[in-house]
Amino acid sequence: MDNKYIRNFAIIAHIDHGKSTLAYRIMELTETVSKRNSQAQLLDDMTVEKDHDVTVKAKTVQNYFISNDGSKYEYNLIDTPGHVDFNYEVSKSLAACEGAILLVDATQGVQAQTVANYRIAKKNNLKIIPVINKIDIASADIESTQSQLNHLDKSFNTNNTYLISAKSGEGVAELLEAIKTDIPAPQGSNNKPLKALIFDSIYDSYQGIIAYVRLIDGHLQKDQDLLLMQSNKSFKSKNIGIFDPNMDDKDNLNAGEVGFIVTGLKDPKAIRVGDTVTSKQSPTKKTVSGYSLAHQMVFAGIFPKNDDYSVLKDAILKLSLNDTSFTFVEENSDALGMGYRCGFLGAFHLQIIRERLKDEFGLDVLTTAPNVHYQVHLKNGSWINVDNPIQFPDFGLIQEVKEPFMKGEITVPNDNLNDVLKLINEHKGQLIDLGNNEDLITINIKIPLSEIIYNFFSELKSVSHGYANLNVTFLDFEVSDIVKVEVDMNYSPVDALSFIVHRSDISEMTQNLVHKLKYVVPRELYPIPVQAIVEGKSVARVDVPPLRKNVAVNGENRSTSKKAALLRRQSLNKRRSAKNQIKLPQNVFNAILEL
C-alpha cells in the first residue's frame, strides 16, 4: 500500500482511562475483529495483564479503514501501558508512530500519567489528538475535563477535542476519520535502501527471536539477507508479516508499515531493541534515531527456590528479550546460591517480572528486598556505585553516601491536601511549591527514591481516598545519612537479608524486623538468635524458639547425669545444624518488604 494511505498511531492515557477498550472498539469498527468477540481486553493477553487489569506490554495491530470518501487506509494501532512503571514501553511505542490519541476519562479528568505521556509524545514531535472518554457516564464532567486539557496544551479546545464512549462506540467513527485527517502519513520511500526500527521482540521456542519492526524506508521480503547495524550481525528473514491482531504471514512489507520478522536467531542476546535492520546486499548508511534507554530505579535479587539455576538463567534471558527495560547480572549468595541481581523500572515492575517467571516459565523464585542505587564516597577519595547491599563498604571506609532524589508531582483534591502533606513529611519529602488547576492542587516535592519504592503510592491512594496521583522524575544524587543493616542468624550473617536504610529509621525498622522474623524463620532443635547489626553493633535481637523446649530450662525434674547427657546431645545437634544452611522461605524476605 502507498504510504500516503498509512497511519501509525498509539493510544496514550492514564491507567484505567479506557485505552484497551478503545483499541478493541477501533478493531471492531474496522472489522479487524468480529462484533461477536466481546473481549474488551483482546490486546491484554498476558496472564499478569488480566490478573491486574493493566496493560504491561505494548501491542500492535493492523486495521483497514474505509473513509467517508471511499478511500482505504491502513491504520497501525499500538496499544500502550498506563502504569507509571511502564513509561518506557510508551516511549518504545511512540518511536514507531507519527501520531497519538491522548485519552482522558471524563469522570477523572487529566491525571499524572496523562501529563507524563503527553510530554513523551511532544518530545517525539507527534501529532496529538485529544479525546475525552466515558461521556455516557452520569458522573462525567466534560466541561471541567476540557478546561484541564486546555490548561495542559492551549491548542486543545472544543473544536479539536473528540467526545467518545469507547464502551458503547459513541463518537468513535468520527475519531477514525480524524486519524486520517489529523495524523500525518509516514514520510519514508520504497525506493530507498531498507531501514527498519526494532521496537520490540519476543522469543519463540520453535522460531527463535521474532522482531517487531517499523519500516522507515525500503522494501522487506521473506527469505531476505538482513543485517543488524549496531551489532553487525547478519541473518535471513525466515518469515515476515503483520499483526491483525494475531501474526499473519505476508510476502513483503513496505515503507511506513509495522510488522514482524522471524529471524531464526536462538541467542536471546543477539537482538537489541532500538537496533536498525537493513539489507545485507545494499545497506542504508544511517541508523534509525531510536529512543532513550530505560533507566532502572529499583534493584533486587532473584533466586530459584529449588536450585534450578540453569532453568532460571534460560527464563531470564528469554524474558529480557521481551522486556528490555530490566537488567540482570549473576549474583552468588551464601544463603541462596546462584541467582541474578536485577534492575527494574519500579516496585510494580518487579512484581510483574516475578509473576511472569511463574506464569510463563513455571518458576517459583525468591526475591530479596528491593533497594535503590547509591553513590558511596570513600575516605581515600574514590567512590563506587552500589545497587546491592552486599557491595556496601565497611563503615570505617566511608566518607559520605549519596542517594537518588526524585521530583514528585502530586495532583490531589483540595480536601485531601493536609493528609497528603503529612504523608510526604513522614517519608522525608520536601515541599517545593503548590499550584492550582481548577479544583485540584498540584504539589511539587523533592523526596528520596528509597521512600517511594515500597508502599508510598498505595498510602497516597489511601489517604486521598483514591483521588491523588503521582508522577516522578529523577533530580540528582544528594548526601544522606545512610547505613547498612546486616541480619545475623545463629551468629552468622545472612547476606541476602541485608538492606540499606536512613540512620533515623534504624531503631523502629530493626525492632519490627527481628520480631517478624521470630515467627517466619524455620525452627530448629535449638533456639536461633536473630540479630540486626549496624556498624558492628547489635541494635535488635530476638531468639527463634526451638521445635521443643530446651532441656536446661524446661522445668522437668531429672537427674543431673540425664540432664548432662541431654545437654550434650542438644549441643551436638546445634553444632551439626550450624553447619547446614537454613532454608529461607519467601515470607522471611517479605518481613523486610513489609517494614
Q: What is the dihedral of CA 508, 511, 512, 513, to 10 degrees?
A: 120
Please state the φ and ψ torsions of residue 156, each to the nearest 5 degrees: -85, 105
Please give the share of the chain, as a percent, with pLDDT higher than 90. 42
The model's pLDDT over 297-349, given as tens digits with 9 standing for 90+, comes to 788 889 888 778 889 998 898 887 767 677 888 988 877 788 999 988 777 78
More confident residue, 590 or 373: 373
State residue 594's pLDDT score: 57
Q: Residue 392 is placed in which grid cell?
A: 556496601
The model's pLDDT over 560-585, given as tens digits with 9 standing for 90+, comes to 676 676 666 656 555 544 444 566 77
- Tell me which CATH code domain 483-593 carries: 3.30.70.2570
Domain with CATH 3.40.50.300 in the chain: 3-182
Domain with CATH 3.30.70.240 in the chain: 374-480
The 3-state DSSP class for residue 21 equals helix
More confident residue, 442 or 445: 445
Q: What is the pTM of this model?
A: 0.67
Average pLDDT, the chain: 83
Say yes or no to pLDDT of 269 above 90: no
Q: Taking residues 5-32, report their average pLDDT.
A: 90
Say yes or no to pLDDT of 53 above 50: no
Give domain 195-279's CATH superfamily.
Translation factors (2.40.30.10)
State residue 46's pLDDT score: 47
Instruction: pLDDT band for 89, please (50, 70, 90 cuts).
Output: low
Expressed in angstroms, the distance from the first to the final Cα of the chain is 58
Nearest C-alpha neighbor of 339 from the set 589, 519, 561: 589
**374-480 has which fold?**
Alpha-Beta Plaits (3.30.70)
Q: Taking residues 35-43, report their average pLDDT.
A: 48
CATH of the domain spanning 298-367, picked from 3.30.9.10, 3.50.50.60, 3.30.70.870, 3.30.420.40:
3.30.70.870
Domain with CATH 2.40.30.10 in the chain: 195-279
- Non-local CB neighbours of 246 within 8 Å, separated by 6+ positions: none
What is the spatial distance between Cα 75 and Cα 522, in angstroms, rounded to a whole number? 58
- Lowest average pLDDT, out of 132-146, 159-173, 541-555, goes to 541-555
Whether domain 3-182 has CATH 1.10.540.10: the reply is no
533 and 485 Cβ atoms separated by less than 8 Å? yes
Say yes or no to pLDDT of 486 above 60: yes
CB atoms within 10 A of CB 520: 15
Domain with CATH 3.30.70.870 in the chain: 298-367
Which amino acid makes up residue 394? D
Listing DSSP states for 204-262 in one string gives: ETTTEEEEEEEEEESEEETT-EEEETTTTEEEE-SEEEEESSSEEEESEEETT-EEEEE
* Pairs from 263-267 (Cβ < 8 Å, separation ≥ 24): 263/208, 263/209, 263/210, 263/211, 263/226, 263/235, 263/237, 263/238, 264/207, 264/208, 264/209, 264/235, 264/236, 264/238, 265/208, 265/209, 265/233, 265/235, 266/208, 266/209
